[in-house]
Amino acid sequence: MNKAVVLLSGGLDSATTLYFAQAKGIRCHCLVFDYGQRHRREIKSAVALAKRAKCAYSIVKINLPWKGSALLDKAIILPRNKPLNRKGIPATYVPARNIIFLSFAASCAEAIGAVDVFIGANVVDYSGYPDCRPGFIKSFQAMLALGLKSGVEKKPLCLQTPLIRKTKAQIVKMALNLKVPLELTWSCYKGGARPCGVCDSCRFRAKGFEEAKAKDPAL
Amino acid sequence: MNKAVVLLSGGLDSATTLYFAQAKGIRCHCLVFDYGQRHRREIKSAVALAKRAKCAYSIVKINLPWKGSALLDKAIILPRNKPLNRKGIPATYVPARNIIFLSFAASCAEAIGAVDVFIGANVVDYSGYPDCRPGFIKSFQAMLALGLKSGVEKKPLCLQTPLIRKTKAQIVKMALNLKVPLELTWSCYKGGARPCGVCDSCRFRAKGFEEAKAKDPAL
């Protein structure tokens, strides 16, 4: 049985990615990041998802004292009800977030002997983050082939991005087919008892469920 | 005055890199990693060096619970008095260490508006770590150009490796010219009051001083 590391944020995309990998018969080890995000609600969701999927998981605590993002710094206001197709990189961009997450995933993969890393990056209904684009992923994989022992001594580690070119509606349908426990997922950038409904992440999710003609069980 | 992030481990190479950047008139922000290494002696050295150089610094605490290296796991024996030119990747290799360190450096650089990241990676008198080689550095920089906001919106972040093709003797001479306070540096993989003298890192350093016909002030 092949082993893989799965980046699990607790949101719709990463949960669907985890269930996709498991459906392929892969033994998954989930990484959950506690990186100083605005709220801990998504960490709770990620842990609940890993447990429900009966997966091993590690919570990786990291510290980005330089902040530089609305997701790390409560003094910066989260965009609310902004057009989702607007140009530019929003205030919720965290400098090098996926670069850091994938670096830890590579370290973990090498230490536990995993051959793949799964990430729910997506470039269709997304916020314009540069580190979600296919070209970035390809380039990260090329870098890993040179920088890891596995790349030098055996087969380079592979980054798997099953959602990269799917719309949110397609991801919702995929999640429903894979029986992802969507009620456990959390996409909202804000914390609190219920999703805010007005941040970019809530609105992309709502758009996905609407277009898939499905009800969001987390609401 | 240009700003740069400098990876500072507390050893000879990173200290020389810091003084090299400062001599170019660059304002440096040092990153010191507390990553679960066998001892805290090198962290103490790194902080002392940053203070002596009157640099801003951040201590980044990270957690690699999967270990996978003699530098993280005291159950693995450190190589002692082994041939320095032996083939293969030694037990002191930490999976994805420079990949992780450079990822944090990229995040910090973007948040503070630095245009360069300096790393003391070296590929001549070194231990065969894949993430010290010029091809890896080049590939990491190409990945950053795609994954960071700076790469999309303005000038990509630059990785600077002033020591990459120097011998240890050349690095020692460079350090002496730059008046690096070598007595503050710590290269030994073991902790303790004095360097062990038999680990690969101590022996590369001793070879460097010997070939440079200089006395190591840290001994």
CA-based nearest residue in chain B for residue A138: B143
For testing contact with chain A, the best of B107, B108, B129, B141 (most A CBs within 10 A): B107
Q: Name the packing angle between helices B134-147 and A134-147 (round to 10°).
A: 160
Residue A167: give its domain's CATH number: 3.40.50.620
How far off is chain B from A97, nearest CA to CA, in Å?
Answer: 7
Please indicate, yes or no, if residue B85 is contained in any of the structural domains.
yes
Residue A3 CB contacts under 8 Å (≥ 6 apart), including other chains: A26, A27, A28, A29, A112, A113, A114, A115
In chain B, which residues have their Cβ closer than 8 Å to the Cβ of A143? Answer: 99, 136, 139-140, 142-143
Residue-level length of chain A:
219
Contact criterion met (CB below 8 Å) for A48 and A218: no
Model ipTM? Answer: 0.94
Residue B86 CB contacts under 8 Å (≥ 6 apart), including other chains: none
Q: What is the pLDDT along chain A (219 residues), one digit of tens a residue?
A: 799 999 999 999 999 999 999 999 999 999 999 998 888 899 999 999 999 999 999 999 998 988 888 888 888 888 888 888 878 888 889 999 999 999 999 999 999 999 999 999 999 877 789 999 999 999 999 999 999 998 888 889 999 999 999 999 999 999 999 999 999 999 998 888 899 999 989 999 999 999 999 999 999
Please indicate, yes or no, if residue A218 is contained in any of the structural domains.
no
Task: Output the pTM of the full model.
Answer: 0.95
Q: pLDDT tens across B81-93, in order?
A: 888 887 888 888 9
Residue B160 CB coordination number (10 Å)? 21
Q: What is the pLDDT along chain B (219 residues), one digit of tens a residue?
A: 799 999 999 999 999 999 999 999 999 999 999 998 888 899 999 999 999 999 999 999 998 988 888 888 888 888 888 888 878 888 889 999 999 999 999 999 999 999 999 999 999 877 789 999 999 999 999 999 999 998 888 889 999 999 999 999 999 999 999 999 999 999 998 888 899 999 989 999 999 999 999 999 999
CA distance A161 to A102: 12
What pLDDT shows up at residue B39?
A: 84
Please indicate, yes or no, if residue B189 is contained in any of the structural domains.
yes
What pLDDT shows up at residue B58?
A: 96
CA distance A181 to A172: 12
How far off is chain B from A158, nearest CA to CA, in Å?
Answer: 14
Please indicate, yes or no, if residue A32 is contained in any of the structural domains.
yes
Residue B156 CB coordination number (10 Å)? 16
Please indicate, yes or no, if residue B217 is contained in any of the structural domains.
no
Contact criterion met (CB below 8 Å) for B93 and A149: yes
Q: With an 8 Å Cβ cutoff, are A60 and B58 in contact?
A: no
What pLDDT shows up at residue A13?
A: 97
Q: pLDDT tens across A48-92, in order?
A: 999 999 999 999 999 898 888 888 888 888 888 888 887 888 888
% chain A with pLDDT above 70? 100
DSSP bridge pairs for A159: A117
On whether any CB of chain B is under 8 Å from the CB of A5, the answer is no
Print the domain residue range for A79: 3-211
On whether any CB of chain B is under 8 Å from the CB of A107, the answer is yes
Contact criterion met (CB below 8 Å) for B37 and B75: no
Please indicate, yes or no, if residue B117 is contained in any of the structural domains.
yes
In chain B, which residues have their Cβ closer than 8 Å to the Cβ of A96? Answer: 103-104, 106-107, 110, 147-148
What pLDDT shows up at residue A1?
A: 78
CA distance B7 to B149: 21
What pLDDT shows up at residue A151?
A: 83
Please indicate, yes or no, if residue B46 is contained in any of the structural domains.
yes
On whether any CB of chain A is under 8 Å from the CB of B217, the answer is no
What pLDDT shows up at residue A75?
A: 84
Chain A, 143 to 172: residues with Cβ < 8 Å from chain B are 143-144, 146-149, 151-153
CA distance A98 to A100: 5
Total domain count, chain A: 1
Distances (CA, A) of B184 to A162, B12, B176, B203: 49, 9, 13, 18
Residue type, A167: T
Please indicate, yes or no, if residue B154 is contained in any of the structural domains.
yes
% chain A with pLDDT above 90? 74
Tokens of B21: 């950047």
